[in-house]
């Protein structure tokens, strides 16, 4: 089997990349990388949002847990029995906030929170139930609202 020297020289001449092919490759790669970099930039701006949301949720949940652990009303005895306003209990519910912070009503319209966050509490009474709503306004226009009912039992 004999190899023709002209075929060998043609193979060597045709093995390589032309300047036009190289320029086209660079253009395609630059267009693709531009798209990838724009996605990366957008995701890096949003990377703090989950942390802000988690902190706002923790602030709302901690205040809601604190309120739900208290008595229904200032006139409710420890343990909740008999419930204030119940037939034969001898005590009426006053459903008004006071400064001692020992029952659910006392947290109505309380506003607090760490720097950058605003935590607002609302307590609405209807039909022997109190709806407690805790709203946390966080940076980046994030708002978390948690609500629970506390019954007079």
How many domains, in total, are found in the chain? 2
DSSP H or E segment with residue 37: helix 19-45
Q: Quick one: how far is CA 85 from the chain centroid? A: 39
One domain for residues 131 and 59: yes
One domain for residues 29 and 74: no
Please determine, for residue 134, whether its predicted confidence score (pLDDT) is greater than 70. yes
Q: What's the pLDDT tens digit per position in 7-58?
A: 655 555 566 788 999 999 999 999 999 989 888 887 777 677 888 999 999 9
One domain for residues 65 and 128: yes
One domain for residues 66 and 10: no
Range of the domain at 66: 52-151
One domain for residues 33 and 16: yes
CA dihedral sign, ordered 16, 20, 26, 28? negative
Counting residues of the chain whose pLDDT is more than 90, the rounded percentage is: 50
Counting residues of the chain whose pLDDT is more than 70, the rounded percentage is: 89
One domain for residues 60 and 127: yes
**149 — alpha (psi -120 to 50), left (phi > 0) or beta?**
beta
Q: What is the mean pLDDT of residues 67-83?
A: 85
One domain for residues 56 and 103: yes
Please determine, for residue 1, whether its predicted confidence score (pLDDT) is greater than 70. no
Q: What's the pLDDT tens digit per position in 81-98?
A: 788 877 777 788 888 888
One domain for residues 91 and 147: yes
One domain for residues 12 and 81: no
One domain for residues 66 and 33: no
């Amino acid at each position: 089997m004999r190899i023709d020297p002209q075929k060998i020289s043609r193979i060597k001449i045709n093995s390589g990349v032309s300047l036009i092919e190289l320029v086209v490759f660079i253009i395609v790669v630059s267009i693709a990388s531009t798209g990838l970099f724009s996605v990366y930039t957008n995701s890096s701006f949003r990377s703090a949002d989950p942390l802000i949301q988690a902190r706002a949720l923790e602030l709302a949940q901690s205040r809601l847990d604190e309120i739900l652990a208290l008595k229904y009303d200032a006139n409710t005895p420890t343990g909740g029995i008999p419930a204030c306003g119940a037939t034969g209990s001898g005590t009426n519910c006053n459903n008004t906030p006071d400064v001692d912070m020992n029952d659910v009503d006392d947290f109505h319209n309380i506003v607090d929170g760490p720097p950058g966050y605003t935590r607002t509490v609302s307590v609405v009474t209807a039909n022997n139930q109190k709806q407690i709503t805790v709203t946390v306004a966080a940076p980046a226009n994030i708002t978390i609202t948690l609500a629970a009912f506390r019954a007079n039992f």
